Structure 1
Amino acid sequence: MLTINPVRSRPVLASLERLIGPQRADRLRRAAAEIQDRLHGGTLWHVNSTPTGGGVAEMLRTLLPLYDELGVRSRWAVVSGDDAFFRITKRLGVALYGSDGDGGPLGPAEREAYLRALKPAADRLVQKVDSRDVVILHDHQTAGLVPSLAGRVASVHWRCHVGVDEPTDAAERGWDFLTELLDEVDSLIFSVADHVPARLRDRTVLIQPPFISPFDAKNVDLPADTVRACLAQCGLDPAGAPARSPLLLETAAGDVRLQSTPSVISDGGHQLGEPLITQVSRWDRLKDMAGVLTAVTDHVPVGHLALVGPDPAAIADDVEQGFWYADCLDHWRKLSPAQRRRVSLICLPMADPTENALLVNAVQRASDVVVQKSLAEGFGLTVSEAMWKSRVVVGSAVGGIRAQITDGVDGFLLTDPADLRGLGQIVAAVLSDATDRQEIGERAHRRVRDDFLPDREVTTTASMLASERMATR
């Protein structure tokens, strides 16, 4: 099945240009003109597997309205499938991260089922595209569309947001599954250079980090009373309680209505004056929420930990979230009463993406330390989002996190993501008076402003299409 995802957004181009300055703004407009020239009146398509939840969907919600303001015709299509499709793609995604996951096979039968589930989406997309169009397919859920699109559009590009730093047998099985499907793409786009497998390095490969939007509800500046209202909704405001009726909050991204109640597991909650330590991520083995829980309760003497993720039932393309949330909850229940009081498990509602984004924004802004202790990571937009808010981020030295944080300069890196004591020691040191959190936070903000804003996506895409044009001459 395939749906066209409509995107509505407030204009951001003028604000972005003020933020990035005249030189980058000029490059942005020239890049957009180059993309228009390459399309010859066609459309730039982005295709992924979910309209909400996850970094790709969040980027596209910013990128397509920006393209519209720049005069570039673009559309966003979302593929979906049956339960078997999402079980296979979850297994495949975990394999690309280097893990065996559920231990199930990724052989010919699974690829046949995967392609069979994608066929209705492929057929519908073929009916909608034009020979002038350029299509960018995101991640393993969409790779099976390549054979149907190749030759029917001007070019097809496949973008990989996941990967593993060192090859493993599981990752090789994942690439065995995918490589043949990618034979006809015009280029491969990876978020992290180290994630390009050896078998694809002789192909046309580009490295294109993701970006954050500084103007959406997840990243705009928030007044103190808005932060408090959101914290109360999440059970993290020591002096407040969740609103009993829908609450309309004014933000620079527009009015946001808080009307859904997060699911909060807590045994006392955040106390007045207590440092707040936060990890925001999916309930996923590779995000290791349970490991963060153990590291903080065993090795950080002060502070309240908020583990914040989506409603496990609300992400269609990730069928294992419920299992890993239950696993984390089981770890919480086994803590001593004193340790349980120091941890909150928060599942944010997903019905309204803007409401969800605002809650994440407020929790990150209220945090003294933001953790991203991934066992493997593609890029990790939550890192850049927290850095943009001038938070001190402690992340695992894996994948794209290493591309965002310079250890000891604009954040801190945990060399071994399995080292729970080491994580605890870093977090405890950050919370001590010996660390200048304000200075590190300011450097973190500057890093994101310089390297991870939406104009970089447009200019890199223009360069990609220009290179393709030169190659065909």
Structure 2
Amino acid sequence: MLTINPVRSRPVLTSLERLIGPQRSDRLRKAAAEIQDQLRGGTLWHVNSTPTGGGVAEMLRTLLPLYDELGVRSRWAVVSGDDAFFRITKRLGVALYGSDGDGGPLGPAERDAYLSALAPAADQFVDHVDRRDVVILHDHQTAGMAPLLADRVASVHWRCHVGVDEPTDASERGWEFLADLLDAADSLIFSVADHVPARLRHRPVRIQPPFISPFDAKNVDLPADAVRACLAQCGLDPNGEPARSPLSVETAAGGVRLLSTPTVISDGGRQLGEPLITQVSRWDRLKDMAGVLTAVTDHVPVGHLALVGPDPDAIADDVEQGFWYADCLDRWRKLPPAQRRRVSLVSLPMADQTENALLVNAIQRASDVVVQKSLAEGFGLTVAEAMWKSRVVVGSAVGGIRAQITDGVDGYLLTDPADLRGLGRIITNTLSGAVDRQEIGARAHQRVRDDFLPDREVTTTASMLAPERMVTR
């Protein structure tokens, strides 16, 4: 099944140009004109597997309105499937991250089921495209559409946001599942150079990291009273202010109504004067929320830990979230009372994306340390978001996080993601005053400003579509 996802347009171009300055603004407008020339009146399509939740959906909600302001016709299509399809794609995604996941097979039967689920979406999509159009397919959920679309549009490009730093048997099985389907793509786009598998290195490949939007509710500056109101909504206000719903919060991105109530598991909550340590991510084994919980309760003597994720039932393309949320909840319940009091599990509602984004923004801004202890990572958007807010980020030295953080300069890297004592030592050192958090945060903000804003996406896409880079079918 396929749906065309509408995107509510909000002008961002003027604010972006003010932020990036005249030279980058000029390159941005020239790149947009080049994309228009290559489309010859056609449409630039992005296709993924969920309209909400996850980094791809967040990027597209910023990118398409920006294209609209720049005069580039773009649209967003979302493919969906049944539980069997998403079980296979979850297994496949975990394999591409180098893990066996649920241990299930990725053989001919699974591939037939995967392609059968995508075929109706491709058939529907064909009714919306013509031969001038350019299609960018995102991640493993959509890769099987490449051969079905190759002769129907001007070009098809596949973008991979996942991967593993060193190949494993599991990742090789994942690439075996996908590789020949990608023969139909004109080019491949990876977030991280090390994630390009050997079997695809002969193909046209571009390295294109994702970006954040500094103007949406997730990243816009917030006044102190808005931060406090959101913290109260999430049970993290150290002053013990009660949550109020409905609540209106004014931001530079406009007013936001907080109508939903997050699910908060806590035993006393954050105390006055207690530093806030936060990880924001999906409830996913590879994000290792449970490892963060153990590292902080065992190896960090002060501070309140907030493990913040989406409502585990709200993201259709990730069928394992409920399991890993339940795992964290079980570990929390088994903690001694004194340690249990130091941890809050916060599940944010997903019904309203702006509301969800505002809550994440406020929690990150209130945090003294933001953690991203992934076991594997394509590109850590939550890392870039927290860096933009001038927070000190401690991330695992895996995947794109290594390209985002320069250790000891604009954040800190944990060499071994399994080293819980090491993570505790870095957090403790950061909270103790032994490092200049303000200076680290300022450099983190500048790194995002330089490399991870939306204009980079437009200029690299223009380069990808340049005639000399196109593959003749």
Please, what TM-score do these two structures have when normalized by structure 1? 0.99
Residue equivalent to 1:261? 261
Q: Distance in 2 between matches of 1:242 and 1:218?
A: 23
Q: Distance in 2 between matches of 1:146 and 1:210?
A: 21
State the secondary structure of the residue aligned to 1:399.
Answer: coil
Q: Distance in 1 between matches of 2:104 and 2:455?
A: 41
Give, in angstroms, the shift of residue 461 of structure 1. 0.1
Residue equivalent to 1:443? 443
Worse overlay, 244-253 or 121-130: 244-253
Q: Which amino acid aligns with 1:346?
A: V
Q: Distance in 1 between matches of 2:440 and 2:163?
A: 28
Residue equivalent to 2:296? 296
Residue equivalent to 2:391? 391
Residue equivalent to 1:377? 377
- Give 1:45-444 correspondences, 5 Å limit: 45-444=45-444
Matched, 1:2 2:2: yes
Give, in angstroms, the shift of residue 10 of structure 1. 1.7
- Give 1:20-35 correspondences, 5 Å limit: 20-35=20-35
Once the two structures are superposed, what CA deviation does each residue of 1:349-399 show, in whole Å capped at 9, x if it has no partner?
000000000000000000000000000000010000000000000000000
State the secondary structure of the residue aligned to 1:364.
Answer: helix
Give, in angstroms, the shift of residue 9 of structure 1. 3.1
Q: Which amino acid aligns with 1:415?
A: T
Q: Distance in 2 between matches of 1:385 and 1:252?
A: 17
Q: Which amino acid aligns with 1:102?
A: D
Q: Tell whether the 8 Å contact from 1:394 to 1:412 is kept in structure 2 after alignment.
A: yes
Q: Which amino acid aligns with 1:223?
A: P
State the secondary structure of the residue aligned to 1:128.
Answer: coil
Once the two structures are superposed, what CA deviation does each residue of 1:25-63 show, in whole Å capped at 9, x if it has no partner?
000000000000000000000000000000000000000
State the secondary structure of the residue aligned to 1:370.
Answer: strand
Give, in angstroms, the shift of residue 241 of structure 1. 3.5
State the secondary structure of the residue aligned to 2:34.
Answer: helix
State the secondary structure of the residue aligned to 1:41.
Answer: coil
State the secondary structure of the residue aligned to 2:127.
Answer: helix
Q: Tell whether the 8 Å contact from 1:88 to 1:114 is kept in structure 2 after alignment.
A: yes
Q: Tell whether the 8 Å contact from 2:245 to 2:260 is kept in structure 1 after alignment.
A: no
Once the two structures are superposed, what CA deviation does each residue of 1:175-224 show, in whole Å capped at 9, x if it has no partner?
00000111110000000000000000000000000000000000000000
- The alpha-carbon distance between structure 1 residues 135 and 470, as it changes in their structure 2 partners (threshold 3 A), is closer
Q: Which amino acid aligns with 1:197?
A: P
Give, in angstroms, the shift of residue 119 of structure 1. 1.3
Q: Which amino acid aligns with 1:312?
A: P
Once the two structures are superposed, what CA deviation does each residue of 1:399-450 show, in whole Å capped at 9, x if it has no partner?
0000000000000000000000000000000101111000000000000000
Q: Distance in 2 between matches of 1:323 and 1:429?
A: 33
Runs of 4 or more consecutive aligned structure 1 residues displaced over 2 Å after TM superposition: 240-245, 467-473
State the secondary structure of the residue aligned to 1:135.
Answer: strand
Q: Which amino acid aligns with 1:77?
A: A
Q: Tell whether the 8 Å contact from 2:249 to 2:255 is kept in structure 1 after alignment.
A: yes
Q: Distance in 2 between matches of 1:201 and 1:468?
A: 19
Q: CA RMSD in A?
A: 1.0
Q: Which amino acid aligns with 1:40?
A: R
Give, in angstroms, the shift of residue 242 of structure 1. 4.1
Give, in angstroms, the shift of residue 127 of structure 1. 1.2
Q: Distance in 2 between matches of 1:73 and 1:456?
A: 18
Once the two structures are superposed, what CA deviation does each residue of 1:127-179 show, in whole Å capped at 9, x if it has no partner?
11110000000000000111110011000000000000000000000000000
Q: Tell whether the 8 Å contact from 1:134 to 1:154 is kept in structure 2 after alignment.
A: yes
Q: Between the two proteins, what is the percent identity of the paired residues? A: 88
How many pairs does the alignment contain? 473
- The alpha-carbon distance between structure 1 residues 470 and 420, as it changes in their structure 2 partners (threshold 3 A), is closer
- The alpha-carbon distance between structure 1 residues 385 and 199, as it changes in their structure 2 partners (threshold 3 A), is same
- The alpha-carbon distance between structure 1 residues 439 and 393, as it changes in their structure 2 partners (threshold 3 A), is same
Q: Distance in 2 between matches of 1:286 and 1:313?
A: 18
Q: Tell whether the 8 Å contact from 1:10 to 1:253 is kept in structure 2 after alignment.
A: no
Q: Distance in 2 between matches of 1:242 and 1:256?
A: 19
- The alpha-carbon distance between structure 1 residues 179 and 471, as it changes in their structure 2 partners (threshold 3 A), is closer
- The alpha-carbon distance between structure 1 residues 240 and 338, as it changes in their structure 2 partners (threshold 3 A), is closer
Q: Tell whether the 8 Å contact from 2:238 to 2:274 is kept in structure 1 after alignment.
A: no
Q: Distance in 2 between matches of 1:366 and 1:467?
A: 47
Q: Distance in 2 between matches of 1:298 and 1:471?
A: 54
Q: Distance in 1 between matches of 2:381 and 2:179?
A: 26
Q: Distance in 2 between matches of 1:467 and 1:425?
A: 51
Q: Tell whether the 8 Å contact from 1:45 to 1:76 is kept in structure 2 after alignment.
A: yes
